[in-house]
A and B are shown apart, each in its own frame.
Chain A
């Protein structure tokens, strides 16, 4: 029976605690899964409120009369021109409005917290004093942000597929998948902008401001560009329009548009890493 509680001079050959691969990434995920579950519940609530009532909207001429009686500027702003089809309805109510709002808020709050919020709270200082590089910390957190957003996108995809039959949406699976990817890509661009601005300013509020600017300006430019031919050039400045302007749920999209969003997010994430590398942290 050995009862040594303490070794005076522990031999170097002793057993060491096992280490996790990608420690920052796995930590971000283990810290963030509750939040993902919370936002998923929000998605489920939104989709289960909107989608089941589609049959009563589409076959209903009174509903179309109501929409026709609204000012055209309003219907253009909220993209309600095509809600008589399942694709148009799902696009307008979820991807273009409620879902966009929810996933943008989630992505921006995660992105802003990942570097800016962590530095503001004072915890980033201690992390960076350990055996990691700043680029590694930024990129692993960007990867975790991407995975969390894609998890939400998957939840949305599965919920919409669930309602597709019962609500008579008649959605094309391929178009739904690319629309979900665009939806996630748009959110990831907002979240990466928040990550970058948080890395620049070292404060959560910088990240929230930067991410919200991308989301809100994208939405507003799309809405204003919808109003008249003279203002359509604003569409070129709107990530929101780039994702949804061509009604991908009805028409599909080309692969390049999808790639563009994820490439842009990657560039923003890389810039966040380079920014963090240059800065004085925690001052």
Chain B
């Protein structure tokens, strides 16, 4: 499953549990991020993404379990470890009264060493004016400041909580470019998002988190295999009942609806898993139309969120 061949481990999380009072924010989360890879976490609000990130940074203390970052236990880790980490909080609050340049100089003072010119280079790429007072910047530009402070010291590990929030699509692409460059330079990236398409673009592996638990960890390709395809077809010389009987028994077909047409019948359904049983089943029909849409990762993941007991596709009987 893991395609990365580099030897080190960027993050190893073992059975992370965090309770706040009676709320179990993390309920036994385990995952491994090989160094030099990009690991994405997706999940709805309140799933525990931010809690994982904060516990990795030792901002909050785990109730049990342990996390090892770059070979060092994160609990009470010294500043040496955090100098090798770049962190972008999900709720980025920056001091407003000073210019972006001065703010970044302050963070450069307390992060790993920053190469001369690196801050300007990043700001140029993101189209960020460093000489404006932070308070006067838009949300997107503040987010760019946060991205610069996370990337500027070229840390071995990047922990990025909803990094593209507030960025316009062009800047999202620029940011994803930064992430790819970081991976190519051997840096490990751990990022969360609710925008699945961007995780799909950069992540080597994806964890889906719900209610403080990881539902599944898989490669993006594997996730794509479980994804849902929308099907729309019509055939002539067949009636509704016959078409229904032909498609309904297939395990891959769900939410089937069959309607009569002037010349025959048409069906809509969703397809999951392998396509060939379906193709065999319709091979002898006289098709007048067949549309199988590209798998929608977002929808299949959202279905996982919405119903804890749901299979990726639910079977349903149309008329």
Partner of A17, one of B89, B91, B108: B108
A257 within 8 A of B: no
A84, chain B: closest CB distance, angstroms: 47
Would B115 and A14 count as touching, CB distance under 8 A?
A: yes
Q: Number of residue pairs across A and B with beta carbons under 8 Å?
A: 91
- B20, B95, B105, B111: the one contacting A283 at CB < 8 Å is B20
Given A121-B93, A132-B110, A280:B79 Cβ within 8 A: no
Q: Are the CB atoms of A20 and B109 closer together than 8 Å?
A: yes
Which one of A92-100, A123-131, A225-233 is at the B interface? A123-131
Interface string of A18-53 (1 = CB under 8 A from B): 011001100100010000000000000000000000
Asked whether, in the complex, the Cβ of A126 is within 8 Å of the Cβ of B115, the reply is no
Cα(A164)–Cα(B92), bound, Å: 52
- Kindly report which residue of chain B lies nearest to residue A15, judged by CB atoms: B116
Residues from chain B with Cβ under 8 Å of A23 in the complex = 106, 109-110
Contact B89 A6 (CB under 8 A): no
Give the distance to chain A from B39, nearest Cβ to Cβ, in Å. 18
Query: Interface readout for B109-136 with A: 1 if CB under 8 Å, 0 if not?
Result: 1111111101101001000000000000
Closest chain-A Cβ to B171's Cβ sits at a distance in Å of: 18
> B91-107 vs A: 1/0 string, CB under 8 Å?
11111010000000111
**Are B79 and A125 within 8 A (Cβ)?**
no
Residue among B106, B118, B185 with most chain A CB within 10 A: B106
- With contacts A123-B94, A131-B80, A133-B79 known, is A10 near B110, CB below 8 A? no
Interface of A is mostly: loop
**B146 closest partner in A (C-beta):** A126
B60 touches A280 (CB 8 A): yes
Contacts of B108 in A (CB 8 A): 17, 19
Task: Tell me the B272-297 residues at the A interface (CB within 8 Å).
Answer: none
Interface size class of chain B, counting residues whose CB lies under 8 Å from the partner chain: 35 or more
Please state if A6 and B61 are interface contacts (CB–CB under 8 Å).
no
Do the beta carbons of A280 and B61 come within 8 Å of each other?
A: yes
Query: Which chain B residue shows the least CB distance to A281?
Result: B59
Please give, as numbers and ranges, the residues of chain B lying within 8 Å of A131 by CB-CB distance. 79-80, 82-83, 110-112
Per-residue contact bits, chain B 49-91, to A (CB 8 Å; 1 contact, 0 not): 0000010010111000000000000000011101101010101
The B-contacting residues of A in range 99-143, CB under 8 angstroms, are 121-123, 125-133, 136
Contact B87 A126 (CB under 8 A): yes
Nearest-neighbour CB distance to chain A for B63, whole angstroms, equals 10
Kindly list chain B residues whose C-beta atoms are within 8 Å of the C-beta of A125. 54, 59, 89
Instruction: Let me know if A123 and B93 touch, CB within 8 A.
Output: yes
Q: A16 an interface residue at 8 Å Cβ cutoff?
A: yes
In the complex the two chains form, is A17's CB within 8 Å of B60's CB? no
Write the chain B residue with the least CB distance to A9: B185
Residue of B whose beta carbon sits closest to that of A130: B110
Find the A residue at minimum CB distance from B56: A129
Asked if residues A15 and B115 are in contact (CB atoms below 8 Å), the reply is yes
* CB neighbours of A24 from chain B (8 A): 110
Please tell me if A282 contacts chain B, counting CB pairs below 8 Å: yes
- Please name 16 pairs of A and B residues whose Cβ atoms are closer than 8 Å in the assembled complex, sorted by A: A5-B121, A15-B116, A17-B105, A17-B115, A17-B116, A19-B109, A31-B97, A129-B57, A129-B87, A129-B89, A130-B87, A130-B111, A131-B111, A132-B110, A282-B59, A283-B54
| Chain A contacts to B: CB under 8 angstroms | 5-6, 9-10, 14-17, 19-20, 23-24, 27, 31, 121-123, 125-133, 136, 280-283
Chain B: residues with CB nearer than 8 A to chain A? 20, 54, 57, 59-61, 78-80, 82-83, 85, 87, 89, 91-95, 97, 105-116, 118-119, 121, 124, 149, 185
Q: Contacts A10-B115, A20-B109 given; 19 further ones with Cβ under 8 A?
A: A5-B124, A16-B113, A17-B114, A17-B116, A23-B110, A27-B109, A123-B95, A125-B54, A125-B89, A126-B89, A126-B94, A128-B57, A129-B89, A131-B110, A131-B112, A132-B82, A133-B79, A280-B61, A283-B20
